Amino acid sequence: MTVVGLTLLLAGLVAQAENIPKTPVKIKVVAVQALNEGHGRKQIDPRLKGVKKAIERLDYDTFHQIKSVTKELPYRKEAKIEIDDRYSLCLTPVSKGPQGRIRVEAKILMTSRREGAKPIEALSKTVLLMAPGKHINLGGLHLDEGELIIVLQAQP
């Protein structure tokens, strides 16, 4: 078998293992402000009830919702979701695996405080493997007070 033949065979196997659905994937994005305010117990904004299990074990004692949005995202097309006046989340659904896991490229852009400067990547492009119904946290981004945690969930 030639190198070209082997390459085509491997490409075909990869295409079979992961497909690119024609229907968009629905992804829920919840942006959370996480703080340490010295409370004896966790204080979680009631609007965060749906993601409570994803955040309650984090090393903060106060959680406030910044934004919650559910978007239908077409495969192989980047979608930009504004989180606040400083951060934007960029998501690109890439493919769907045989067990239903969605492969998504994600990055977070941060606007510079300098006049006219281009946004920088606060989180460089990373590939997430999202099981439908399960949460994934992206975090460690500084806010004026506390940190930004972004909770993602692919809807089944």
pTM for the model stands at 0.85
What rounded mean pLDDT belongs to the chain?
88
Identify the band that residue 28 occupies on the pLDDT scale cut at 50, 70 and 90.
Answer: very high
Average pLDDT of 45-61? 96
Tell whether the model's pLDDT for residue 114 goes beyond 90: no
DSSP letters spanning 117-128: PPPEEEEEEEEE
Average pLDDT of 51-80? 96
- The percent of residues in the chain predicted with pLDDT above 70, rounded, is 88
Tell whether the model's pLDDT for residue 71 goes beyond 50: yes
Identify the band that residue 4 occupies on the pLDDT scale cut at 50, 70 and 90.
Answer: very low
- Extract the tokens encoding 21: 């659905």
Q: How far is CA 103 from CA 37, 92, 125, in A?
A: 36, 9, 13
pLDDT value, residue 116? 78
Strands in 79-82's sheet, in edge-to-edge order, are 79-82, 87-96, 102-110, 120-130
How far apart are alpha carbons 105 and 124 in whole angstroms? 10
Identify the band that residue 1 occupies on the pLDDT scale cut at 50, 70 and 90.
Answer: very low
Average pLDDT of 90-105? 94
